[in-house]
Each structure stands twice: as C-alpha cells, then as structure tokens.
Chains A and B, each alone.
Chain A
Amino acid sequence: MTAAESASAATESASQEGKYVYCIIRNDRSREFGEIGIGSAARVYTVAHKDLSAVVSDTPIVIYDPTRENVLAHEFVNETVMREFTLIPMSFGTIFRSENDVRALLNSTYQAFTDVLDKMQDKIEFGLKILWDRDSVVAAIERDNDEIRRLKDEITRNAASSTYFARMQLGRLVEAAMEEASNRYVNDIHEQLKEVSVASRSSKVIGDRMILNAAFLVERKDEKSFDEKVKAISLQYEDLLTFKYTGPWPPYNFVNIKLKLEKAT
C-alpha cells in the first residue's frame, strides 16, 4: 500500500479536495511553483487577497503524519518559495476546505501578516545544534583543572584505600566543571554569532550530548559572514564539539502569529 492509498483509505472524505497551505507571501499576481506539493507532487500555486498570497496545493482532506517524507515535502516548497520571497511559514499539516476559506484567513489576519512580513523582510534562519564529545571534554577538564587532576591522581595512586567519598567528591567536581564548561562554550558561541545575526532563539536540547539547539535570524546580505563565522567557531572547537549546521530556512522560529482557527467539519 502506498502512502497515498493508506491516506485515502484512512479518511472517507478523502476524495474531497482541500487546500494545503505552506506559507504566506506578499504578492498579488498568481504564481506557480511547480509540481512539488505534499502527498503526490501536486501543483503548487497561489491564492491571493489584496497584496498577500497563500502558497497552496490541492490535497485530499486528510491528516498528514509528520513523517520525514511529508515534512521534507512541506519544507521543500517553502525553500523554493524562499528563493524569491520573504515568507511566513504555516504550521505543518494546515489544510483549508476551499480557496474562500484561505482568503478568509488572509483577510482576517491581514494586518498581522503584513507586520510580520515587514519585520522578516530579507531575513533568513539558520539552525545550529552543538553536541559535545563527553570523553574529550572530561579529558580537557582533567588537564586544565588542578583540583580535579590532583584528586584523580590521588585516587589512582591509592586505588585500594581511596574512599567512596573521594570518588563521590571527584564525580561532583567533574559534573560541576562540565556544566561550567558547557555554559562557557555556549556563551562564547552566542557572543561570536551576535555580530553576524539579528536575533537568536534557543530550544530544548535533544538527548544528553547536545549543549545547544538554537536558531539564528540573519540578514540575507550577512549570510556569507554568518556562514564563515560558524565555520571558524567549529574549527576553534574542533576537538571538543560537533556542529550540526542547517539552513537557510524560512524564519520558522521567529514568527509567532496565533491564528484563530477551528476544525472545519
């Protein structure tokens, strides 16, 4: 069973056409972005109201699971649109029943969309996840921290007689030093990137090796400097940290318009 088949089997009204909305742009002429839509490579086009347009594709009325495939399709459309336009991304999986319902969205939220489009004009987002290699960081701490090095040597020398408490003490010291190191790295990196970005937003870290999960808002014209800065920082921390650098993205983490939407039954 293909994804499309299982999606249509899941919903009785699947044959009904809806409009999947990817993003909002400032544009008053109709535009085509190719057959790159979610689901079955549907045609991506615009629905306009005044000088705003929603970028949409036709879709059966289904609930899209946030699978990698679906999320990538959603993102790919936004990346394509982003090459030409400043955009406000919509939440993954947002479907309206008709073009009129999409126009109602543009109409009712016209002012907020306009304000945010002004603010986001020519700005793009980069994602930066930083993971550390625990062993290297511990090694660096043991090298640099006299107290920890001394305690560790002592425990190693007197392996038999060294107490549980000495080991506990060492463990606590290392933990504290690691937290301090993590804060120091993160602050330093934030500080260095401040010069080449407009704003940053940190999200919750994922797993126990990540020390930074952040998004940076960057002026398009500063894209290259931001890029070079990240590369320089990752060289600086080469032995200790792994950098996962993505983008440019639409400003997913810097747009927060609360839409008043309800289920369309």
Chain B
Amino acid sequence: MGLLTNILLAPFLGPVWGTRWTLEQVDRVVREELTDDTPIKADLMALQLQLEMGEIDDDEYVRREAEIMKRLREVREWREKFGMSTSGGPVRVVESGEPE
C-alpha cells in the first residue's frame, strides 16, 4: 500500500518519481480507478431501490447518500485534476461546428 499511498498523496504529474517507466502502468490503473464513477452511480441506484422497496428508512437513506455524494465529489475532483470531462457546472454551446 505504500506505493499507492505515495501516488495518491503526491501531485500526480510531479517530478518526484524518477523511474517513470515502472510507474506509468500503476499510474494508469490508479487513474482509471480514481476517475470511474460507474460503480458509485450503481451504488446510488441500488440505494434508491432499497428506499423505494421500503427496505431502509429516510434517515438511513440520507446518511448513506451523503457518503455516496462524497465519493462522487472525490471522483469529480480527480477528473478535473486530469483534465477529464465532468458533468454539472456551467456550460455553453461550442462555437465552431454544427450540432449533431
């Protein structure tokens, strides 16, 4: 876990790591995990279903929803760090090119 922790805590593209070639693979895997919100969204949908089916009450829902929102925000922050697309926030029409 030591290596992973260092990667998580270090600025991602920083020059701290001398041996880039070994790290690129790790970098990619970690990056994919940090920036993938699919499992989080699946958890959110499962949680909503539990509420709909009356398996959990509102309080339980709100508590677990807060955890999921925290995870979603973390993923969004990582995506922004990597310059990847994120949903939400202000947008505008792309000037050039016709809409599809």
Contact = CB atoms under 8 A, between A and B. Distances in A.
Interface stretch (A78-86, A96-104, A220-228): A96-104
A68 B61 CA distance: 9
A95 B53 contact: no
A62 B76 CA distance: 13
B65 A261 contact: no
A258 interface: yes
Contact of A244 (B46, B52, B92): B52
B99 A264 contact: no
A43 interface: no
B73 A112 contact: no
Contacts of B45: 206
B46 A263 contact: no
Nearest to A109: B99
A18 interface: yes
B69 interface: yes
A260 B90 contact: no
The number of chain A residues touching the other chain, given as a range, is 35 or more
A248 interface: no
Interface in A96-145: 96-97, 101, 104-105, 108-109, 112, 129, 131
A6 to B, nearest CB: 11
B49 A260 contact: no
Nearest to A261: B91
B39 interface: no
A224 B76 CA distance: 42
B87 interface: yes
B11 interface: no
B48 A94 contact: no
Contacts of A67: 65, 69
Contact of A104 (B42, B93, B97): B93
The number of chain B residues touching the other chain, given as a range, is 20 to 34
Given A67-B69, A109-B99, A260-B97, A93 B88 contact: yes
Contacts of A264: 90-92
Contact of B46 (A68, A91, A206): A206
B46 to A, nearest CB: 5
A259 interface: yes
Contact of B92 (A68, A96, A109, A258): A96
**Most chain A CB atoms below 10 A, which of B46, B72, B92:** B92
B90 A18 contact: yes
B8 to A, nearest CB: 22
B59 interface: no
Contact of A68 (B48, B76, B97): B48
Given A68-B61, A260-B94, A95 B89 contact: yes
Interface of A: 18, 61-68, 91-97, 101, 104-105, 108-109, 112, 129, 131, 206-207, 210, 242, 244, 258-265
Given A262-B92, A264-B91, 12 more contacts: A65-B69, A65-B73, A66-B69, A68-B65, A91-B87, A93-B87, A95-B88, A97-B90, A109-B93, A112-B99, A260-B100, A265-B90
Complex A-B, nearest 5 residue pairs according to Cβ-Cβ distance, in ascending order: A93-B88, A63-B88, A264-B92, A261-B91, A264-B90
